[in-house]
Amino acid sequence: MSRPAREPLDFHFDFISPYGYFASLRIDALAARHGREVRWHPMLLGVSVMKVMGLKPLLETPLKGDYVAHDVRRHALMDGIRIGRAPRTPMMNPLPAGRAFAWCLVHEAQRAKAFAQAVFDGYWVQACDYSTPASLAQPAQMAGIDPGRLVDAAQTDEASALLRAQVDAALARGIFGSPTVVVDGELFWGYDRLADVERWLSGNFGARAQAE
Amino acid sequence: MSRPAREPLDFHFDFISPYGYFASLRIDALAARHGREVRWHPMLLGVSVMKVMGLKPLLETPLKGDYVAHDVRRHALMDGIRIGRAPRTPMMNPLPAGRAFAWCLVHEAQRAKAFAQAVFDGYWVQACDYSTPASLAQPAQMAGIDPGRLVDAAQTDEASALLRAQVDAALARGIFGSPTVVVDGELFWGYDRLADVERWLSGNFGARAQAE
């Protein structure tokens, strides 16, 4: 007799990933429908995709880059999501926001998710750029975090080490893309796989997979 | 006043793509629910992914290869599809089957889809290998096509040119992955996007996308 698992889901994303942004709008409600919490984690596509996998950035890949640029706008249209960033605008440097968020997870645990949501909203809807630590004062304020403290923290070695630890832990789990959701040890990569996450949470696939 | 579009869907796939196989099991019924036919087209990932995009084969890409190998088995489990091929078995040479199918589309139009379905089933469920023209006698027979005629045809310059024309036409449309479904000019890449194909067919997104 085994107790049904009620472990939180792990949601891994890069702020510069549009599909990560789309998933961020749905993942908590999806998990809540199944009595689950969600832990949010920063990752860096620049490390997983480019350094470990040896691939080009998505938007610079022939054919796929054009497809993705169109698909993001189409998905936003179909889901009624407003994207304020012009297509093909160069991405921001994701390091300051990633470091700040990794720091928040430790030092502002109650407000960390609100900070990440403010960064996502600012970047994708308001077309803000958070490439510098100073620019993070605004999402900090939105999340109820002292802006000066966060701007300072984002520049510390500690924040840098905390982000690195998150990135390394994700890679060790086999995570390479944004978004990736981990449910009871099962990885689901891609915004378009949230339906699978929901099916997995609803079904008894885990037991059957183990029996195979 | 515009007449609602009733153009057939175009379904592009490589026989060695497991997600292409999964999609082949659903695409005609999906289209039929919306009063549409489906035209099937061979493509070659070896050309689009490796030559044009400059990427590694999926299963040889670090992290992603492991993920995909697992995801294919998980998807089969969730959808109740039997996969007879052992994971990580080297892929067959897709050229003979692609050439034969391209030839069937012209010379055996009524049986071409049945031939493609027999190849998909033989390869993914029965773990057959169709790397040689001679091996195609079996799926030809299944589809009601004279096996000797098809085996000979698969080795002709004409079959080779017909496949090349399909591959080039797909690339010209911006198609790079398997499966890709084209609906009224909109490309949807990925088995996990069939739900989007269905939403697109149900909704009025085309008109709204054009108005943007």
Strand order in the sheet with B186-189: B38-42, B9-13, B180-183, B186-189
Interchain contact B77–A (C-beta under 8 A) = yes
How many CA atoms lie less than 13 Å away from A151 in the CB half-sphere? 14
Comparison of pLDDT for B207 and B199, the residue scoring more:
B199
With H, G, I as helix, E, B as strand and everything else as coil, classify residue A41: strand
Give the amino acid at A101: F
CA dist B51 and B62 (Å) reads 19
**E runs forming strands in chain B:** 9-13, 38-42, 180-183, 186-189
Residue of B nearest to A80 (CA): B205
CA dist B20 and B23 (Å) reads 5
Interchain contact A176–B (C-beta under 8 A) = yes
Mean pLDDT on A27-35: 97
Residue of A nearest to B211 (CA): A77
Interchain CB distance below 8 Å, B190 and A192? yes
The per-residue pLDDT for A56 is 72
Interchain contact A203–B (C-beta under 8 A) = yes
> Does the pLDDT value for residue A206 go beyond 60?
no
A77 CB neighbours in chain B (<8 A) are 205, 208-209, 212
Confidence of residue B4 (pLDDT cuts 50, 70, 90): low
Q: What's A144's DSSP letter?
A: T
Q: What's B90's DSSP letter?
A: P
B199 CB neighbours in chain A (<8 A) are 78
With H, G, I as helix, E, B as strand and everything else as coil, classify residue A107: helix
Least confident piece of the model among B24-28, B49-53, B81-85: B49-53
What is the tens place of the pLDDT at every residue in B142-187? 999 999 999 999 999 999 999 999 999 999 999 989 999 999 999 9
Interchain contact A24–B (C-beta under 8 A) = no
How many CA atoms lie less than 13 Å away from B87 in the CB half-sphere? 13
Region of A185 (left: φ > 0; alpha: ψ -120 to 50; beta: rest) is left
ipTM of predicted assembly, 2 dp: 0.81
Residue A41: phi and psi, rounded to 5, are -135, 135
